[in-house]
Amino acid sequence: QVQLVESGGGLVQAGGSLRLSCATSGRAFSTYAMAWFRQAPGKDREFVAGISWSGGRIYYADSVKGRFTISKDNGKNTVYLQMNSLKPEDTAVYYCAKSAVTYGSGSSSSRAYDLWGQGTQVTVSS
């Protein structure tokens, strides 16, 4: 059974950096768009960053643009989220997600994804 496993979360001071990883055992990883979402306590899950199956299209939520970078290593079946200049409002559980269709450009809607990781906690102290 294909799974997504996130890692790299933790506690960091404001202005610091973290890199999240999301690894999968799926052999068809390279054919899927991937994305990162996050959910803060008491709030809905929100889109953070997405990348198309080929890596040719990358897009971000306005709140993280210029600070976060998503990348995809098809050889390692892993998608990354590099987070710089972290702010307390970035505190949330971060989830990676796999697109429901192959060879897609991805979407900022959670409905476009059919497989989710268990989440990794990111806490940014002020």
What confidence tier does 40 reach under pLDDT thresholds 50, 70, 90? very high
The alpha carbon of 16 is separated from its chain's Cα centroid by a whole number of angstroms, namely: 18
- pLDDT single digits (tens) 1-32: 779 999 999 999 999 999 999 999 877 888 99
Query: Which two tokens mark 94?
Result: 């971060």
What is the DSSP pairing of strand 120-125 with strand 10-13?
Answer: parallel
What's the token pair of residue 58? 């990358």
8 A C-beta contact, residue 45 and residue 37: yes
